[in-house]
Amino acid sequence: MTRRWWLALILVVSTSATWCAAADDDSVAKLRKELASSDPVVVVSALENAADLGPEALATLPDVQRLLKQDDLTVQLSALELLTAWGPWAQPATVDVLGLLSDPNVIIKHSALMTLQAMEPDPKVVGAKIGSLLNDPESIIHVEAANLILAWKLPAREQALSVLKTALGDERASVRIAAAQALRLAGADAVPMLRAALKNGATEARLAAADALGDLGPVADSAVPELLASLKMEAPDLRTVVVRALGEIGAQPQVVLPQLQAECDCETPQVRVAALEAMGRYGSAAQGQVATFLAALKDAEPTVRLAALDALAATGTQSPEAIQSLAAAVKDSEAAVTLRAAETLGRIGTPSIPALVPLLEDRNYSVLALQTLEGMGPSARPAAAKLVELLGKPDALPPRSVCLAIAAIGADPKVAGPALKHVLADEKSEARPAAAYALGRIGDASAVKELTNAVEAEDPLLRLATAWSLLHLDPQNPEYIKLAVPRLIEGLDRPEPSVRLQAARTLGTLGTSATPAVPGLVKAIGHDPEPMVRIASALAVSYLGSSAAPAVPGLLALAESPDAEGRRAAIYALGSLGPVASAAVPVLKTVLTSRLPGERLVAAWALLQIQDDQATLETALPIVLEGMAVERPEAVVQLIRLASRRGARRPEVRAVLTELLHSDEPAIRAAAAAGLERLK
């Protein structure tokens, strides 16, 4: 198993909110008692508390379903709000919510529709009821019903479009806006209606129509004439939305770009900003407008100058005039403009180096210029000679920062190596650890002697840096590994989070050679204040097999923590340890039923790694098979291998692997073929 495929697996997660609290049995019991209260104030408060707990409070679902039938409007609405927060986890309440669609109260009916949208129920279950609401006398109801029909691709699409077309002319602005927003889901079919609303509708309808056309993007290119005509309107809000829509559609640059250029002279700053942003969306097609962007860099409004910088970056221009103007913008009076200008120079890459190098000598901007070059990585290598020069100037930039920049750009060892060795040899220099690290990063094999001499230095950070560099230069060298491990263990206790993180990650690359680090990694898993260090430490022990058994209690604690990424890393690590992590089985089984889909997938994988019995197979294998639908090939390959190993003689495994033979990903096809061969 490769040592990085876990990234693909543990990141297969829902985009749902990360719930910040967990409910124990006592708190759920308390909630249920409060939900049964006759006092509406107590009930509403309990519903709000349940919402804060998220899916952990799903045990109260029967109580919430009962509350939907109460006569108290506030209680009903609060119950619907809770179900909305639970989203798909609330699907068992679908029938109860559907029943509210017949409620005479429009507020309840509309809230029920919104709740259904969040619950994502089976369209076959709700389709007929939603369709019937297209004839509801209340506009806000039949517009929302039409929205769901388009969103869920239910029958009655044509009737839904007709309803929305009529609603664009409704006397209420809120209805007109809702109709235009819903039409986004109709794609090209909505364009004629939105064009008509843009041409003849009231101001709110025009605003909503222009916004919707922009969201439709290139398929709305036929609406460009109406959008351009709307630019003659005096209302700044409408002009702003129209300009943004033209940029999002991105069609007919020869016609649109001159009109957008004209809007850059509008007296309203928000219109100028929108025009520059829209022109930037045309990318390289807008390179003929670079002069407009450069002129906007002198605008009195900082937001306009920022938009001009973004537009320049989007066009990809590398003209000397643009680079010179960007270098001048680095010295803008507004800090945000200064930072964005430097960032834009960094995005341009190598051609911007002549403009950045002089800034290295400017005390006001030298640090920013150095950071920009560092962020450019290898494309900043032509600046290496200047950085080496700065190492020899005592009053220039901090040598430590310069060394780290040299490391980041991957300078040629022939250019930077001698200067870095000089810093490393200077026992009075505080930059020695950074120099040692840089020598390893740039791959200067000639520095082995100097690094070896420094590996026993008194400075623990220098010991760590030199050991790391030796290991980086020759990862398989047993002597370097032997030197590195104790120093990396020391690194786990360093005050600098970045050093602790690097130490944990490096230990994770050493496999069983890092076994002596188990106590330090266990301590980091349980007590390090930085989440990323805890995660890296958990992943490091995942490569240590049975020798990492002492880490199981800490991993279990992390697996039940509020930190979502930490939970997934811990679950993965427990599975990687195999049978030695058998104490995790009860927790993992709980995760299968009560956590986010991504966590369920990793937990199912972990269970199958830890124990191989029929009950586990029946519970976890279906989740693993479902996980093969994710679009992360490396993770899918590992899931295929697990399923074919654990699911021999199971027809559903064969069926899924057969289907994956047609995947667009060669690695998945190969793994599926190998899995099917194993199943023979």
pLDDT, tens digit, 9 for 90 and up, residues 622-667: 877 777 766 577 777 777 777 777 776 788 888 888 888 888 888 8
Question: What pLDDT is attached to residue 370?
Answer: 96
Cα separation, 263 vs 273, in Å, equals 9
Q: With beta carbons less than 8 A apart as the criterion, state whether 418 and 446 touch.
A: no
What's the whole-number mean pLDDT along residues 79-101?
91
pLDDT digits (tens, 9 = 90+) for 463-490: 889 999 998 999 889 999 988 899 999 8
Cα separation, 479 vs 382, in Å, equals 35
Question: What pLDDT is attached to residue 634?
Answer: 74
The encoded tokens of residue 118 equal: 């969040």
Q: Is 363 exposed, middle or buried (0-12, 13-18, 19+ CB in 10 A)?
A: exposed
Q: What number of CA atoms fall less than 13 Å from residue 30's CA on the CB side? A: 10
Q: Distance of CA 116 to CAs 59, 61, 113, 181, Å?
A: 20, 15, 5, 18
Angle between helices 73-86 and 40-53 (to 10 degrees): 10
Query: Which residues in 290-299 are b (16+ Cβ under 10 Å) and which e?
Result: bebbbebbeb
Determine what percent of the chain is predicted with pLDDT higher than 70: 95
Q: Distance of CA 277 to CAs 142, 272, 313, 574, Å?
A: 36, 9, 11, 48
Rounded (5°) CA angle 518-524-528: 175
List Cβ neighbours of 110 (8 Å cut-off, separation of 6 or more). Answer: 140, 141, 144
Tell me the one-letter amino acid at 245.
A
What's the whole-number mean pLDDT along residues 406-429?
95
Rounded (5°) CA angle 601-607-611: 160
101 or 396, which is more confident = 101
Tell me the one-letter amino acid at 396.
A
Which span out of 4-8, 532-536, 542-546 was modeled with the highest average pLDDT? 532-536
Q: Is 72 helix (H, G, I), strand (E, B) or coil?
A: coil
Please give the DSSP secondary-structure letter assigned to residue 244: H
Run of H or E including 242: helix 236-249
What's the whole-number mean pLDDT along residues 438-454?
94
Question: What pLDDT is attached to residue 8?
Answer: 39
List Cβ neighbours of 532 (8 Å cut-off, separation of 6 or more). Answer: 497, 501
**For residue 365, pLDDT beyond 60:** yes
What's the whole-number mean pLDDT along residues 360-370?
94
Cα separation, 537 vs 493, in Å, equals 12
Q: With beta carbons less than 8 A apart as the criterion, state whether 28 and 60 touch.
A: yes
Query: Which domains are present in the chain?
Result: 252-348 (1.25.10.10)
Q: Which residue has the tokens 């021999």?
A: 648
Question: What pLDDT is attached to residue 648?
Answer: 67
Confidence of residue 594 (pLDDT cuts 50, 70, 90): low
Q: Of 610, 642, 536, 612, which is closest to residue 4 (Cα–Cα)?
A: 536
Provide the CA 79 distance to its chain's centre, in angstroms: 31
The encoded tokens of residue 488 equal: 């990396």
Cα separation, 639 vs 633, in Å, equals 10
How much is the CA Rg of the chain, to the nearest whole Å? 31
Q: What number of CA atoms fall less than 13 Å from residue 677's CA on the CB side? A: 6
Rounded (5°) CA angle 601-607-613: 130
Query: Which residues in 227-236 are b (16+ Cβ under 10 Å) and which e?
Result: bbebbeeeee
Question: What pLDDT is attached to residue 300?
Answer: 95
Q: Is 666 exposed, middle or buried (0-12, 13-18, 19+ CB in 10 A)?
A: exposed
Cα separation, 595 vs 603, in Å, equals 10
Cα separation, 103 vs 75, in Å, equals 15
Question: What pLDDT is attached to residue 23?
Answer: 46
Question: What pLDDT is attached to residue 595?
Answer: 53
Q: Of 248, 185, 186, 236, which is closest to residue 211 (Cα–Cα)?
A: 248
Provide the CA 624 distance to its chain's centre, in angstroms: 23
Cα separation, 483 vs 467, in Å, equals 6
Question: What pLDDT is attached to residue 15?
Answer: 30
**For residue 247, pLDDT beyond 90:** yes
Q: What is the DSSP string of 287-307?
A: GGGHHHHHHHTT-SSHHHHHH
Cα separation, 150 vs 146, in Å, equals 6
Question: What pLDDT is attached to residue 11?
Answer: 35
Confidence of residue 4 (pLDDT cuts 50, 70, 90): very low
Confidence of residue 597 (pLDDT cuts 50, 70, 90): low
